[in-house]
Structures are given as structure tokens and as C-alpha cells.
Amino acid sequence: MLGSICACTELLAIVKSTSNIVGASDMAPPSLLETATVVEKMVTRNVDLRSDTVTKPTEAMRAAMASAEVDDDVLGYDPTALLLETEMAKMMGKEAALFVPSGTMGNLICVLVHCDIRGSEVILGDNCHINIYENGGISTIGGVHPRQVKNNDDGTIDIDLIEAAIRDPRGELMFPSTRLICLENSHANSGGRCLSVEYTDRVGEVAKKHGLKLHIDGARIFNASAALGVPVDRLVEAADSVSVCLSKGIGAPVGSVIVGSKNFITKAKRLRKTLGGGMRQIGILCAAALVALKENVGKLESDHKKTRLLADGLNEIKGLRVNPCSIETNIIFIDIVDGSRTTTEKIFKYLEERGILLMQEKASRLRVVLHHQISASDVQYTLSCFQQAVQIENGN
């Protein structure tokens, strides 16, 4: 309701301003329907909720990019890249770090460093990003076999299932050799749920017990850290490697960083070159990432609060359902209630026409992701438009 009031108030002011136009005084006051039509036609607003990857570089980032000190990073001399890598290694509590063009390449490199023998096997969640959204690269490029284990609704994998999935070395004549366990934190397909440090430590203990390595896909690890109130280095302490996306939660324009031991990063650097990820004057990209680390990590808590506000408001709209237990960071899955006359396609189109962009997950589910360029006003506007879309389709 507050969103509707805000939207109408904003646009009523525009309508009222037309009273200064010649002849306007002779016209009858506009009806609410006419006002709504004026609102739709006159107000252009962009609320991009497709992902946190859609953020635009801030002025501070652009300035830093323009003035960045650069050199050839393939040769190892770009000073801004070295500064970013040093800072990231320190923040993550690891010995070294390496900038890579994307999170997909970062995860691929980490898996291939740990699984350097073709026919190796990695244990991972069936609903994790590496398994679903990264083109099967660990198999097609690395010859690594994924051993899928069921993800729980909170993004975890049962410890006993992980341990049961580890191959018995005595069967190596027939089976792949288990070398790696992968976790994802926060877990995107679970709605941004966070893996606790206690859980991660337990998985790390299982890995060590069996002589395995642990990799964390930490694309949104800063979101998890903010939500759990746990320092990021403690959150990944048990991991042998971590990939961290710079262009998701913290809003840099490009890239990811992988962290691990010095020996690990030496091997990773060679693989980055093999995969075509070695770039020259990358300091212009790393400069923006340094600004993001300085300015945007502290904004994540606010992003999460706005996500909760939006989720709570959506849950009050008849015909929509959001699982309140799943809202821990900045991702919301919105389900269409069975029996509702509306559809994701109709809502998607209605919102798009009003400048609100989001993702259609499937026939009955929508996804929205908040980020530092979404304001509280944007949240209220989005709620108002969702409510209008559902009411229209339900004939209210």
C-alpha cells in the first residue's frame, strides 16, 4: 500500500504541474484512472532486478579506472593488479591471489588445479552453480567427473552423503578417483542461503580425513559474511581455494579473484594462460574492483534489509508466495500460487513495461536480485507494480 501511495503521489505531482499549461484551468480534475495512465506514460523509471551483475560502474570507479597505473599483467608487472591480488589474499586469509576474467573461469581453474589427473572426481551439490551454469567445463575441458550429491533447501549437502560419495581407493581400477569437494556460499539456487562456518569446518575436516581438497565457490562470499556476521577469512578458513566474484554483490564491472596457497596460484596462473584468461593492462579493471572493496562491501547489509522488505511485501500480495526462511542475503524467488489467474509471463511483461526488469526462472517462478544501486524507493515502486499486476490479472 505504501508503494502505491508513493507512486501515485509522485505522479500526481506531475499531473498537478500541468495546471500551469494554457487552458489547463478549463479542464476537469483528472480521475484516478486518468492519473494512473499519465503516470504510466510520463514516468520512466528503471529498476533492474535481473541480477547483481547489472550494476553500472560508479563515478569513483570510472575515475579510478581512468587514472589507474598499469603494466603487462601476463608478464606479472601490472601494479594495480598486484595491489588487488595482495588485498584479496589478505582479506581471505590466504597466501596468494589471481585475477581472472570471470567466475566460471575461476571455478574451472580451481577444479583443474586440484584435479590435475584426467578421470579425477569432484563431489558437489546437484543444484550448485558449477554443476548447472558453467557449461560442464570441468568435464568437457578438464576431464573431471562430477559426483552429484543432493543439495538441501539451505544449500548444504548432508555430511554423511558427502562421505558416502568418496570413492574407495581400492576400486580405482573401475571408479574415478575422488580428489575434491566443492561448496557454494552463498548458495544462489537456494535463494542466497548461507553456509555457516561450523558446517564449512565440518566439511573441511572430512576432506582432510580422506586426503581431499576443499574448494568454495564464493561468488557472493561477501554477502554470506555480511549476513552471518562472520569475517570472510574465517568463513573460508577450511578451504584450500576460493573463487570470489567482483561483479556480483560488491558491484565491480568485471572479473573474479581466486585465492589459495602460493603453489596453488602458481599453477592457476599457468592454467589461466592456457584458457585464454591472461590479459595485459588489467589494472584498469582491478582499479574499479579496489573501489568496490572499499565502498560497497559495507553496503551489503543494507542490500539485505531492502531484500527482506521487498520479500515481506511480496508475501502480502494475494497470489504470490515467497519462502521467508530463504531470505538471508539479496536473492528472492517468487512463486505463483496454484489456482492464481496470473502467470509469470504476464507479470514479467507488465513490470517490464514499467521499467522493472527481473528473471523468469520457470513457468511459475520469478527471481529478483538486489544490489547497491537499488534504493528503498525502488523497492516500494516495485511492490506497487507487482500488486497492480496481480490485481489486474485476478480481475480485482
CA distance 147 to 331: 27
Strand order in the sheet with 320-321: 320-321, 331-336, 365-369, 359-362
CA nearest neighbour of 287 among 41, 99, 139: 99
Q: Which of 253, 242, 279, 207 is nearest to 109 (CA)?
A: 242
pTM of the model: 0.89
Contact between 304 and 329 under an 8 Å Cβ cutoff? The reply is yes
SS3 content of the chain, % helix, strand, coil (to 5): 50, 15, 35
| Residue 193: φ, ψ to 5° | -70, 150
Query: Residue 6: CA atoms inside 13 Å, Cβ hemisphere, count?
Result: 13
Residues 396 and 394: their CA atoms lie apart, in Å, by: 6
CATH number for 299-392: choose from 2.40.30.30, 3.90.1150.10, 3.40.50.2300, 2.120.10.30. Answer: 3.90.1150.10
Contact criterion met (CB below 8 Å) for 312 and 380: no
Of all helices (H) and strands (E), which one includes residue 282? none
- Name all contacts of 344-349 with Cβ < 8 Å and 24+ positions apart: 346/389, 346/393, 347/386, 347/389, 347/390, 347/393
The tens-digit pLDDT sequence of the chain (396 residues) is 434 444 444 444 333 333 333 333 444 454 545 445 545 544 579 999 999 999 999 999 999 999 999 999 999 999 999 999 999 999 999 999 999 999 999 999 999 999 999 999 999 999 999 999 999 999 999 999 999 999 999 999 999 999 999 999 998 889 999 999 999 999 999 999 999 999 999 999 999 999 999 999 999 999 999 999 999 999 999 999 999 999 999 999 999 999 999 999 999 999 999 999 999 999 999 999 999 999 999 999 999 999 999 999 999 999 999 999 999 999 999 999 988 888 999 999 999 999 999 999 988 999 999 999 999 999 999 999 999 999 886 665
Q: What is the DSSP string of 78-116?
A: -HHHHHHHHHHHHHHT-SEEEEES-HHHHHHHHHHHH--
Angle between helices 59-67 and 283-295 (to 10 degrees): 140
What does the DSSP 8-state code read for residue 330? Answer: S
Cell reading at 321: 508466495
Every domain of the chain and the residues it spans: 59-295, 299-392
Kindly indicate whether the domain formed by 59-295 is annotated with CATH number 2.30.36.70.
Answer: no
Give phi and psi for 27, each to the nearest 5: -90, 150
